[in-house]
Amino acid sequence: AQSVTQLGSHVSVSEGALVLLRCNYSSSVPPYLFWYVQYPNQGLQLLLKYTSAATLVKGINGFEAEFKKSETSFHLTKPSAHMSDAAEYFCAVVNSGGSNYKLTFGKGTLLTVNP
């Protein structure tokens, strides 16, 4: 079974400050991990993915995340927040092989950026 825990349902930062959104996962097999962003009344946009290559992955809009197997974590960071980063962020896990293709999502973290 897989699960994702996103610590902090709401994170608030000032414009220009560091963004850190936390994600911990549980998986019985090697995982692939993803961060998606959702703007109000829209679908999910893929920010970045870990698919067992480099553990530090870079995504769109200046975001990056590091896969840490020992800590079962995949935290999302951005050095300097922009007003346009305000959105809901979802971490997700899927098996890297086998017949289980289901993406399991966390409950999401709402990011607010203050001017």
Partner 1 sequence: DAGVTQSPTHLIKTRGQQVTLRCSPKSGHDTVSWYQQALGQGPQFIFQYYEEEERQRGNFPDRFSGHQFPNYSSELNVNALLLGDSALYLCASSLRTGRVAFFGQGTRLTVV
Return residues touching partner 1 (CB under 8 A). 4, 32, 34, 36, 41-46, 49, 51, 90, 92, 94-96, 99-108
Q: Of the two residues 13 and 37, which places its CB atom closer to partner 1 in the complex?
A: 37
Q: Of the two residues 68 and 102, which places its CB atom closer to partner 1 in the complex?
A: 102
CA angle 80, 84, 88 (to 5 degrees): 95
In whole angstroms, how close is the CB of 102 to partner 1 at the nearest point? 4
In whole angstroms, how close is the CB of 58 to partner 1 at the nearest point? 16
Q: Of the two residues 18 and 29, which places its CB atom closer to partner 1 in the complex?
A: 29
In whole angstroms, how close is the CB of 106 to partner 1 at the nearest point? 6
Query: Both ends of the chain: CA-CA distance in Å?
Result: 41
In whole angstroms, how close is the CB of 22 to partner 1 at the nearest point? 15
Q: What one-letter code names the amino acid at 59?
A: G
